[in-house]
Amino acid sequence: MLTRLILLCSLLLASVAVSASDDSYTYANYRQVTVSHLHLDLDMNFEQKTLSGFADLQLNWLVSDATELYLDTRDLTISRVYGKQQNGNWQPVPFSLAARDEVLGSKLTISPAFQPQKLRIHYSSKPQASGLQWLTPEQTAGKTTPFMFSQNQAIHARSWIPIQDTPAVRMSYSARIQTTDKVLVVMSAPNDPATNRDGDYQFYMPQPIPAYLIAIAAGDLQFKAMSEQTGVYAEPYILNAAAKEFASTQAMIDATEKLYGEYRWGRYDLLILPPSFPFGGMENPVLSFITPTVVAGDGSLVNLIAHELAHSWSGNLVTNATWRDLWLNEGFTSYVENRIMEQVFGTDRAVMEQALSVQALQDELKTLSANDSILHIDLQGRDPDDAFSGVPYTKGQLFLMFLERQFGRDKFDPFVRRYFADHAFKSIDTASFVEYLNRNLLQKYPDIVSPAEAETWVYHSGLPTSTPAPQSDAFNQVRQHASNWLAGNIELAALPTESWTVHEWLYFINNLPLSISQPQLISLDAAFNLTESANSEIAHAWYLLALKTGYQQIMPQLEQYLINIGRRKLIIPLYKELASTPAGLAFARKVYQQARPGYHPLAQGSVDELLNP
């Protein structure tokens, strides 16, 4: 009963953000009117690569004399708009679509002469929608059934829904999707594992979420349960392997609930997407979207599942109000992820993952401007996708680790738990968080961390001198073994690699000097078959080292790697390194010509810029 009352209150407050600042990446006049519920009635056409139909927007007018509504769109065809009168009749209302802005898309202005409680917008998406990828049967593993999926974050929902595309506005939603009965459609809403594949699918998400968390996918999907609460949707070729790989998901949920309170979303399922998915995962509520590159066969990369699950508290339950505040989503989530890994898999593994993340951040900071190393980032008009560096993730995590270290878990854990409870189903900006932090932690336990220290973390560039430096005993041993081998003091056979985890392998490869000799690289490859590694993370690290050191033996396997994987984290650094030499650039362009049709639009844009600036 308590959960239902909380949900009811959250629905009433669905459109109210804690934020006092405005989101510069939306046209929406959400201070005057907000969307409280969205209903989609769409036809999914694989041949035309379009979603078409109508969207009903339930409106909450906040200003008594306001009669205009501004919505976000990108590459949508708007055919007509109706407003629902108090007598229940639908009346056509005027609308206009502005010229397309490269970042924001096109402003849709709807001008009824009254305040309708509901608007109906008839529209169609276009094949080039930045938030959708359409795969032909030939581009899937089964080769018989097409596949499509959405990726709305940061501001790509507007490419297939006319909506207030800002995390400051939260709404419940429902949908009816009609398509061929060859595919199963799933959405970021409760999905029934027993749903018939009949081409007519209906969904209802009762919890209010921002537009970027509305998600859809369709393909030759099957379901396999992992527990009563969790399961996997995937194409048949990877279904059993994924369910086995992620069998620890229920243990992760149980551990997180003990730390931070009730999981408030009902089921928690995973959708394994095709390799073209441009991210590791996407935290779409109830149904996290996951790359197949983490199905490693040994559970070594399941921290990604912990990360997406953690978003059920940080990001989905409590959301950044604008993309300047991304660290409130990702920093908290990276912190919670690591606490989950510690609870389920032990301290040693959690510390290794901390150390790898910190080392990656330190390397990345060498390439970023000072402005881009600030948690409360000023994007200066750039695409909000540019905010997704290691800074909001790892620097944000380190800030929370610093607070945990200073206050102790006995004080810090209850603070985080209360933060999630106090802001459940709300959006919050950085200034509001800093004020909440001061009131509920810094002032409650004075003379431990000053407001100035906390604000240095949030508003200043780089890493403060108080930054935690996680130390892994396992990594220290790996470093010593590597030093002894490089110095010629031991043979490769003496390295205790049979007991190494993936994390130790990554640390070993990432820290080999660029002065390493070709004979040493050849010996490494011969001993451990690194060029043929089936682990996508190890292969990536090895290929990157090989490119930097001129080890050409990887090139045939690298070509297949770039063609078969579209995850940006794994391919962008490789393309970037290839583009640093004329020969490498020529190779990259040749491979990309074959790979590009299978990449997501977000990956295409990144690689296009690298290879053809």
| pLDDT exceeds 70 at position 543 | yes
Query: Is the Cα dihedral 528, 533, 538, 542 positive or negative?
Result: positive
The residue to which tokens 């919890």 are assigned: 207
Residue 601 pLDDT level (bands cut at 50, 70, 90): confident
- Tell me the mean pLDDT in the region 175-190: 97
Residue 577 pLDDT level (bands cut at 50, 70, 90): very high
Q: 533 or 11: whose pLDDT is higher?
A: 533
Provide the annotated active-site residues.
308, 393
Show me where the domains of the chain are located: 2-220, 318-459, 512-611
Give the pLDDT of residue 612: 87
| pLDDT exceeds 70 at position 567 | yes
| pLDDT exceeds 60 at position 418 | yes
Q: How far apart are CA 599 and CA 567, in angstroms?
A: 9
Task: Write the burial class of residue 380 (CB in 10 Å: 0-12 exposed, 13-18 middle, 19+ buried).
Answer: exposed
Q: How far apart are CA 516 and CA 512, in angstroms?
A: 7
Tens of pLDDT, residue by residue over 134-172, are 999 988 888 899 999 999 999 999 999 999 999 999 999
**97: Cβ contacts below 8 Å, ≥ 6 apart:** 73, 78, 106, 107, 108, 109
Cα→Cα distances 308→271, 281, 302, 593, Å = 12, 7, 10, 32
Tens of pLDDT, residue by residue over 246-265, are 999 999 999 999 999 999 99
Tens of pLDDT, residue by residue over 459-471, are 999 999 999 999 9
Please write down the HEC assignment for all residues of 561-594.
HHHHCCCHHHHHHHHHHHCCCHHHHHHHHHHHHH
Nearest-5° Cα angle at 590, 589 to 594 = 105
**What are the DSSP E strand ranges found in 306-378?**
318-320
Give the pLDDT of residue 13: 43
pTM attached to this predicted model? 0.92
Tens of pLDDT, residue by residue over 303-328, are 999 999 999 999 999 999 999 999 99
| pLDDT exceeds 50 at position 18 | no
| pLDDT exceeds 90 at position 17 | no
- Tell me the mean pLDDT in the region 551-557: 96
Tokens for 611? 């290879």
Give the pLDDT of residue 506: 95
Give the pLDDT of residue 406: 98
Q: In what order do the strands lie in the sheet with 230-234?
A: 222-225, 230-234, 268-272, 287-290, 281-282
> 2-220 adopts what CATH topology?
Immunoglobulin-like (2.60.40)
Q: How far apart are CA 154 and CA 588, in angstroms?
A: 28
Q: Which residues pair with 94 in a beta bridge?
A: none
| pLDDT exceeds 80 at position 367 | yes
| pLDDT exceeds 90 at position 1 | no
Residue 356 pLDDT level (bands cut at 50, 70, 90): very high
Q: 190 or 612: whose pLDDT is higher?
A: 190
Does an H or E element contain 33, and which?
strand 33-45
- Tell me the mean pLDDT in the region 405-417: 98
Give the pLDDT of residue 21: 57
- Is domain 318-459 annotated with CATH 3.40.50.1100? no
Tens of pLDDT, residue by residue over 475-523, are 999 999 999 999 999 999 999 999 999 999 999 999 999 999 999 999 9
Q: How far apart are CA 303 and CA 455, in angstroms?
A: 29
**Cis peptide leading into residue 154 (ω within 30°):** yes
Q: How far apart are CA 115 and CA 59, in angstroms?
A: 9
207-244 exposure pattern, b = at least 16 Cβ within 10 A, e = fewer: bbbbbbbbbbbbbbbebeebeeebbbbbbeebbebbbe
Q: How far apart are CA 9 and CA 425, in angstroms?
A: 9
Give the pLDDT of residue 14: 43
Tokens for 470? 């996680």
Give the pLDDT of residue 15: 44
Range in 12-21, 182-191, 547-556 with the lowest mean pLDDT: 12-21
Q: 8 or 250: whose pLDDT is higher?
A: 250
Q: How far apart are CA 169 and CA 23, in angstroms?
A: 10
In one-letter notation, the amino acid at residue 467 is T
Give the pLDDT of residue 91: 95
Mean pLDDT across the chain: 93
- Tell me the mean pLDDT in the region 274-296: 92
The residue to which tokens 């009811």 are assigned: 8
- Helices and strands counted in the chain (H then E): 19, 21
DSSP state at residue 161: S
Give the pLDDT of residue 20: 44
pLDDT over 70, % of the chain:
97
- Tell me the mean pLDDT in the region 369-384: 93
Tokens for 553? 């033996």
In one-letter notation, the amino acid at residue 92 is P
**What are the DSSP E strand ranges found in 341-441?**
426-428
CATH number belonging to domain 512-611: 1.25.40.320
> Measured in Å, how far apart are the chain's first and last C-alpha atoms?
57
Q: How far apart are CA 107 and CA 105, in angstroms?
A: 7
**What are the DSSP E strand ranges found in 46-190?**
50-61, 69-73, 77-84, 90-92, 95-97, 106-110, 118-124, 132-135, 147-150, 171-178, 184-187
56-76 exposure pattern, b = at least 16 Cβ within 10 A, e = fewer: bbbbbeeeeeebebbbbbbbb
| pLDDT exceeds 90 at position 8 | no
